[in-house]
């Protein structure tokens, strides 16, 4: 691959990395809030962290939910939508990268 084509290929990959780093950052923030909640409750109740139960967290349980569900629903629709969106996004990004690679080679 020519040097200029290689640089263009690398420069156009930033979109994938921005999406991945954003998702990682959001997940890290959510996990940090959960751990902070557990540590605060263990200090308040003077318990070891491993002994904190669901009942001890009480009003902070919303931090541990991934999605807020409609009462009475099981949430299968959320998993289906997310899976299909991730599959379509992955296929789109892969197609974009292959097309970019082919343009730089040819």
Q: What is the pLDDT of residues 2-53, one digit of tens each?
A: 667 777 777 777 777 888 888 888 889 889 999 999 999 999 999 999 999 8
d(CA 106, CA 93) in angstroms, rounded, equals 20
Structural domains in the chain (count)? 1
d(CA 9, CA 100) in angstroms, rounded, equals 7
pLDDT(1) > 60? no
What is the residue range of 82's domain? 3-105
């Amino acid at each position: 691959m020519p040097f200029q084509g290689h640089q263009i290929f690398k420069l156009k990959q930033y979109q994938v990395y921005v999406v991945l780093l954003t998702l990682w950052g959001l997940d890290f923030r959510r996990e940090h809030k959960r751990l902070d909640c557990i540590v605060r409750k263990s200090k308040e109740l003077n318990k070891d962290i491993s002994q904190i139960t669901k009942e001890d967290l009480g009003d902070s349980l919303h931090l541990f939910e991934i999605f807020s569900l409609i009462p009475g629903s099981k949430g299968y629709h959320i998993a289906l939508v997310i899976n299909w969106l991730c599959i379509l996004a992955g296929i789109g990004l892969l197609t974009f990268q292959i097309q970019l690679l082919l343009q730089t080679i040819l």
